[in-house]
Amino acid sequence: MFRSGESKRVAPARSGSNVDASVWYPPFMTHGRLEVVCGPMFAGKSTRLLARCAELAAQGLEVQAFKPASDDRYDGARHIVTHDGRRLEATPIADANEILAAIAPAVIVDEIHFLGDAVVEPCMRLVRGGRIVIVAGVDRDHRGRPFAPFPAMLCEADRVDKLHATCARCQGPACHSQRLVASDQRIVVGGAEAYEPRCRVCFEPAA
């Protein structure tokens, strides 16, 4: 858990139309919010998460981070790791409902496309309970189609940071992740050896 200064205590949620009484929320907040960071691979999504974490910590808020257990790139099974090697300690989860165990007022979940639509309701329960929830992930698959849970998450979001990478072919703004390895699986864990960013013109969707 990432914190700055003295830790804040949390209290049970109050009953009411705008909170979820089944989860915990910090008494100094009345409304939660959902922030979504999305874009192709190599767009700086995890870097943006680490920056938001530092901003929240500077405000005196504890931040608790989670990531899918299946994402073990860069020897980072228990860390959110940027492509340039920066790290943030995170709890690996196999089930999206595990984020409901969070006790911090701010919760970060990276690589949510690994968790699919199952992550939407746990995130929204935390938001209804008064938490700041920040999620990040790849919003289009290797065929260029929307990646769950982003259609639902973008509808619910209070803030969206839509990031672009630099196209590996033409250096234009890239919104796609071009898969470089042969596989029919929708999720293939990999880095620069398996993917590169492409713009709409240079992108070659898988058959």
Q: Which of 55, 111, 121, 193 is catalytic?
A: 111
| DSSP H or E run through 125 | helix 120-128
Domain boundaries, the chain: 29-164
Active site residue 111: yes
**Rounded-to-integer distance, Cα 48 and Cα 26, Å:** 24
Q: Is 171 exposed, middle or buried, given 0-12, 13-18 or 19+ CB atoms closer than 10 A?
A: exposed
b/e burial code for range 75-101 (CB count within 10 A of at least 16 → b):
ebeebbbbbeeeebebbbbeebeebbe
pLDDT in tens, 118-177: 999 999 999 999 999 999 999 999 999 999 999 999 999 999 999 999 999 999 999 999
Q: Both tokens of residue 32?
A: 């939660």
Q: What is the pLDDT of residue 206?
A: 83
Rg from Cα positions in the chain: 17
Q: What is the pLDDT of residue 82?
A: 78
Q: What is the pLDDT of residue 12?
A: 39
Q: What is the pLDDT of residue 113?
A: 95
Q: What is the pLDDT of residue 70?
A: 84
Q: Which residues of the chain register pLDDT less than 50?
A: 4-17, 25, 28
Q: Which fold has domain 29-164?
A: Rossmann fold (3.40.50)
Q: What is the pLDDT of residue 62?
A: 95
